[in-house]
Structure 1
Amino acid sequence: MKKLEINLDETDLSILRLLQEDARITNVALANQLKMAPSAMLERVRKLEEKGVIRGYSAAIDPLTIDKELLVFIFIKTKDSFANDKSARALAAIPQVMEVHHIAGEDCYLVKARLSGPLELMELKRSRFSKISNIVSMRTTIVLETVKESAHISIE
């Protein structure tokens, strides 16, 4: 991932903090909290979106309410060369896969997936992962309890 050369001032960082706390905050409420005009705030947020600093907005869903109780991390080793991301793209295209990370060490990728249970995990491995020809091995870690899970990035 290439580092973006974007200069963010304290106002930009404050906007990002507030949006991470509540992505549904209105433009007017955001402007009031930072003592700015709503039109200026709208322009600031629009520029942060255009620059790719703000990549999108989403709802945090309780996985238990939609029968996705099982959280797994799967370490995957592939035959891919370091420059080839064919396996990563294939993994990322699987709907149950939430994250794909290219990692250093013995394995090539770390995959995070949310599933309904062990049967869905087995089906995922049999019907989806087995079709990715470059996979050499997989090691699965099942999460017993989540102490903290957050998409928020600490903004100092």
Structure 2
Amino acid sequence: MLDHTDMHILEELSKNSRIKMKELGEKVHLTGQAAASRVAKLEDSGVIEGYTIKVNDVKMGYSVHALINIYTKDTHHQPYLSFVKKQEKYVINNYKISGDGCYLLECKFSSNESLDQFLIELNKHVNYKLSIVVNKQ
């Protein structure tokens, strides 16, 4: 079970995973060594699964962010899943969901033209409903 200090450590690491352990310790009222020990325990227990970077998609050339509700045409989803696996250039996440649709596909595209081409190919496997992200709050 995580205590208040562990939760505070996770909060600070989520803001800046490159923080120095001494600085982290100061923020959570521990020594740098104690903070490092806590982080190691969180990693060993699987609470912290890894570290990542945040990339600016627009500066990387991806100006279109799309959320696509997927409606499979039958109970055999493998053709869709195979298609998605080959589209890693565009696909951010593919969530299997309950509710409205079978999957929620989160994608990024460099242009409306590349989105349109993706949707043409996608429609060979499934039906969909498209939403475009206008602004990330």
The 2-side partners of 1:100 and 1:56 are apart by 19
The 2-side partners of 1:17 and 1:46 are apart by 15
Q: Are the structure 2 counterparts of residues 86 and 8 from structure 1 closer, same or farther at C-alpha, using a change threshold of 3 Å?
A: farther
Give me the identity figure in percent: 27
Q: Which of 6, 13, 20 is matched with 1:19 structurally?
A: 13
The 1-side partners of 2:107 and 2:3 are apart by 36
Where does the alignment leave 5 or more consecutive residues of structure 1 unmatched?
1-6, 149-156
When normalised by structure 1's length, the TM-score is: 0.73
Q: Deviation of residue 130 (structure 1)?
A: 5.7
Structure 2 match to 1:69: 63
Structure 2 match to 1:48: 42
Letter paired with 1:91: V
Structure 2 match to 1:36: 30
Residue 59 of structure 2 aligns to a residue in which SS?
helix
The answer to whether the 8 A contact 1:80-1:87 is kept is no
Q: Are the structure 2 counterparts of residues 85 and 48 from structure 1 closer, same or farther at C-alpha, using a change threshold of 3 Å?
A: farther
Letter paired with 2:130: T
Matched, 1:146 2:132: no
Matched, 1:137 2:130: no
The 2-side partners of 1:37 and 1:24 are apart by 17
Structure 2 match to 1:58: 52
The answer to whether the 8 A contact 1:72-1:113 is kept is yes
Matched, 1:101 2:95: yes
When normalised by structure 2's length, the TM-score is: 0.82
Structure 2 match to 1:151: none
Q: Deviation of residue 53 (structure 1)?
A: 1.6
Q: Deviation of residue 29 (structure 1)?
A: 0.8
Letter paired with 2:11: R
